[in-house]
Amino acid sequence: MPELLAPAGDMDCLIAAVRGGADAVYLGARSFGARAYAKNFEIDELARAVVYAHAHSVRIYVTLNTLLTDFEITEALSLAKRLYEIGVDALIVADLGLVKRLRLELPEMELHASTQMSVHNTAGADEAYRLGCVRVVLAREVSGTDIEKITKNALAETEVFLHGALCVCHSGQCLFSSLVGGRSGNRGECAQPCRLPYSGGYPLSLTDLSLAEHIPKLIKSGVASLKIEGRMKSPDYVYTVTSIYRALLDGCRVPNVGEKNRLLRAFSRGGFTDGYYTEKIAERSMLGVRSETDKAASREDREKIEKEVIVPTRVKISAICEIKPNAPSALTLVYKSKGGEQILATVFGDIPEEARSQPLTEDGVKARLCKMGGTFFELCAEDIELTLGDGINLSPAAINALRRNAVGALEEKIALFRRTGAKNEDFYKLAELDGVQRTIDGVKRTAIFYDEAAFSKIGSAADYFDIIFAPLAKYADFGVSLNGVALPPVIMESESSDVISLLENAKARGAKYALVGNLGHLSMCKVVGLIPVADFRFNVTNRDTGSVVSALGINNCLLSPELTAKQARSVGGSSVVYGRIPLMLTERCFMRDSFGCDLCSACSLTDRKGARFPLIREYRHRNLILNSAVTYMGDRQNELRGLLSQHFIFTTETAEEIRSIVGAFKKSTPFPLSYQMRRMGRRDAAKP
C-alpha cells in the first residue's frame, strides 16, 4: 500500500493531516522551502510537530528544496543538522550542491529528490538515487503508463502527486516569476504569473489535479507515496482531502458521488483534471480559474469543519511507578506504536521522606501522574502500575517534576523512533562528487539557434561561436554539420528510445556536443558518445552544485539566469549573455489551443500591461514561453570577466538582427535593437 503524504503549512494543518489519516506529512521550516509564503514552522514548533506525528506513527518530511547561493549553503546545513537532531524522517531537496554537502556532513539523513529536480524518466531517477536520494518525486506531467515503468525499473522509490494545484510550467523550469516579477519560484517566492490574464483570457491557468478515479491502478503500480499538494491551504482542506483519500486507499476504490462533491467543495478551479496521467492534455477541461461559486462553497464547509479538526488527539500511554523508602522515586512511561513496538522512558526523582501526618495514597499519586496538561499523551489511573511504600511522603512538586521529566524523555525517544540510515553502496562515493567547473578547451562562446531559416542567412556571423547547438528535433533541418545538438528539456520515459535514435543521427551528421538540462539526459549522451554541456536548466547557483555537475562528466556549465554577473563570477562557469530566456516549458501546446497550428511559432501571449511573450514549439508539442525582454550584456563585457564562456540564445530574431547583435558584441556597444532589454540577474528593465 502506498504511503499517503499530506501537506501542512502550520501546526493546525499538521493536526488536521494526522486526524485525516495521513501516513506522512511534509512541511517547511522558516527558510529554504519552496513555499516561502506559507506560515511554516519555527524550529521549536517543528520539534513539537515531530513528537505529535511520531506519537501517531506518522512520518515527517521537511522541504529544503529551494536553490541556494554559496552564502546560504552553510546556513541550510546548520538547519538540516538541527532537523536531524529533532527526529525529522527525511529532507526533500532540489539543489545538487546541498545534496552533496548533506551526504558529506549528514550521511544518515534520508533524502528525497524534489519535483524541482525535474525527474521524468528512469535514467533521471537512477542518477538522483546514486547521488544519495532514496526517493524521487516524479514530475506532475508524467503519464500513468510511464509512472508504472519508472516505478518498476528505477533504483529509487517513487512519489507521485495525487491531488492539488498544477503548475503550468514543468517544475524546476519556471523563471517567469523571477525574471519578470523579481520573485523567484525556484527560491519559494512564486508570484503565480500563470494565474493572471493573457491575451484576453486565462490560457495558462490549469485546474487542479485529482487522481481519485485511478486509486486502484496507482496502488497496483507500486509507487511508494501518493502526495497531496497544499502547504498554503487551510486545515479544513487538509483534513477533508486527506480523509477522503485515506478511505479510498483503504478500500482500494474510486470515490462515490458524495466524496467527489466534498473534494470539489474543499477547493476547486471549476473542476479537476487527470489529463497528464491519462495523456489527454489537449482537452480544454485542463484549464480553469477559481470562481466566486468555488470560493463560497469552500468558506461554507470551512466554518463547519475547521474547529473540529485542529484539536490534537491524545495518544494513550501506560506507566510504572515506584515510590519506596530510602530509594529515588522512579517513573517509567510506556508508549505502544500502531505497529506494536514499545518505547519506554525511565527517570528518577527525589527520595521520599517519612510522613509526619498524611502519607501518600495510591489515588493521590495516580491523580498527579495523570495530569498530562499540554502534552500529546493521555494517562489513565487504571493504566498506572504503582508500587508505593507505607508511611512515606513526596511533595507534590517532586511528583510533578518526576512526571514532567518522564514525559520529556518519552517525547525525545518517540521523536527519534524508527529513524533509518540512508547509506547505500550504490550511492556515488564522495570523492567522485568533487571537482571544479571547467570549460572545454578553446570554447569562449556558445549559441543555440531555434530558427533554421534565420540561421542559414547569417553568413560569417556564425564564425563568432565555438559551439552552435540546434534543437534535436530540428537538427537535420539546419542542413549543415553543426557541432552541437540540444536535447529536449523534458524527455519522458516513453520518448527515450526516439530521442536516442535522433541523437545517433545527429552525431552521424557531425554533432560532437550535447546541451543537457537534467540528470536524465546524461546516460543518453554516454550511450551515443556525445560530450555533455550543462544548460541553464541544471539550476547551478553555487560552487558545490557546479562541482557535482562537473564530477558527473560535464565540462562546461551554464549557470542559472537568476544569478547576477557578480554572483556568476563567484560561482564560476558560463552564463547567458544574450537572448530571450525561456520563462516556461509547458507540456500543453498553447499555440495550438489558443492560436491554431497554422500560426505555430508565430504567436505570443500579451499580459495586462501590454508585454508580449513569444511562444515557440519544442520537442513533440511542448511550448517554450519566452521572455518579453531580451537579456543583453554586449556593452558590459567587463562584468563578464572571469566567466568560462558566454552563451547566446537566438529564438525569434531575423538574420539581420542576429548579425547586428554579433556585431554589437564584437564592438562592446549598446543594444542595437528596439526591444525591451534586461541585464543578467535582474528583472525586466525599461526600453533603452
Is residue 608 very low, low, confident or very high in pLDDT (cuts 50, 70, 90)? very high
Are 485 and 515 in contact, with CB atoms under 8 Å apart?
yes
pLDDT at 425 over 70: no
Identify which of 146, 259, 275, 147 has the alpha carbon closest to the alpha carbon of residue 209.
Answer: 275
- Using 50, 70 and 90 to split pLDDT, how confident is the model at 435? low
**Percent of the chain having pLDDT more than 70?**
95
- Compute and round to an integer the Cα radius of gyration of the chain: 29
pLDDT of amino acid 37: 58
- Average pLDDT, stretch 394-421? 90
Averaged pLDDT, 594-599: 80
Is residue 436 predicted with pLDDT exceeding 80? no
C-alpha distances in Å from residue 671, one per residue of 32, 638, 660, 676: 37, 15, 9, 10
Q: pLDDT digits over 30-72, tens only?
A: 777 656 556 678 899 999 999 999 999 999 999 999 999 998 9
3-state secondary structure of 457: coil
**Confidence at 685, pLDDT banded by 50, 70, 90:** very low
Q: Residues 365-372: what's their mean pLDDT?
A: 96
Q: What pLDDT does residue 295 have?
A: 86
CATH 3.20.20.70 residue ranges for the chain: 3-166+206-309, 434-581+629-678
Q: What is the pLDDT of residues 92-146, one digit of tens each?
A: 999 999 999 999 899 999 999 999 999 999 999 999 999 999 999 999 999 999 9
Nearest CA to 485 out of 497, 477, 493, 496 is that of 477
pLDDT at 515: 97
The pLDDT value recorded for residue 592 is 87
Topology of domain 3-166+206-309, CATH: TIM Barrel (3.20.20)
Q: How confident is the model at residue 338 (pLDDT cuts 50, 70, 90)?
A: confident
pLDDT band per the 50, 70, 90 thresholds, residue 432? low
Hey, which residues does 624 pair with through a beta bridge?
A: 585, 616
pLDDT in tens, 163-217: 999 999 999 899 999 989 888 888 888 889 999 999 989 999 999 999 999 999 9
| Whether residue 359 has pLDDT greater than 80 | yes
Cα–Cα distance measured from residue 208 to residue 88, given in angstroms and rounded to the nearest whole number: 29
User: In terms of CATH, what superfamily is 434-581+629-678?
Assistant: Aldolase class I (3.20.20.70)
Amino acid letter for position 24: A
pLDDT score at 434: 63
| Cα of 353 vs its chain's centroid, Å | 59
Determine how many CB atoms are found less than 10 A away from the CB of residue 192: 16
Q: How much is the pLDDT for 48? A: 94
CA distance 21 to 36: 26
At 656, the pLDDT band (50, 70, 90 cuts) reads: very high
Residue 573 binned pLDDT confidence (cut-offs 50, 70, 90): confident
pLDDT (tens digit per residue) in 289-330:
998 888 888 887 776 676 677 788 999 999 999 999 999 999
Average pLDDT in the 81-101 region?
A: 95
**Helix or strand (DSSP H, E) at 161:** strand 157-164
- Which residue's C-alpha cell is 554516454? 526
As a whole number, mean pLDDT of residues 360-364 equals 95
Q: Compute the average pLDDT of residues 452-478.
A: 96
Q: Is pLDDT above 50 for 687? A: no
Q: What stretches of 279-395 show up as alpha helix (H) in DSSP?
A: 292-309, 362-369
Residues paired with 630 in a beta bridge: 677
Residue 540 has, within 13 A of its CA and on its CB side, a CA count of: 33
A 10 A CB-CB count for 39 gives 18
Residue 22, pLDDT > 80, answer yes
pLDDT of 494 > 50? The answer is yes
- Count how many Cα atoms sit within 13 Å of the Cα of residue 336 in the half-sphere of its side chain: 7
Q: What's the pLDDT score for residue 595?
A: 84
Instruction: For the chain, give the mean pLDDT.
Output: 92
pLDDT band at 688 (very low <50, low <70, confident <90, very high): very low
What confidence category does residue 278 fall into, taking pLDDT thresholds of 50, 70 and 90? very high
Average pLDDT on 422-439 reads 67
* Rounded mean pLDDT, 350-375: 93
| pLDDT for residue 482 | 96
For position 423, what pLDDT does the model report? 60
Instruction: Tell whether the model's pLDDT for residue 416 goes beyond 70.
Output: yes
In three-state form (DSSP H/G/I as H, E/B as E, the rest C), the secondary structure along 380-433 is EEEEEEEEECCCEECCHHHHHHHHHHHHHHHHHHHHCCCCCCCCCCCCCCHHHH
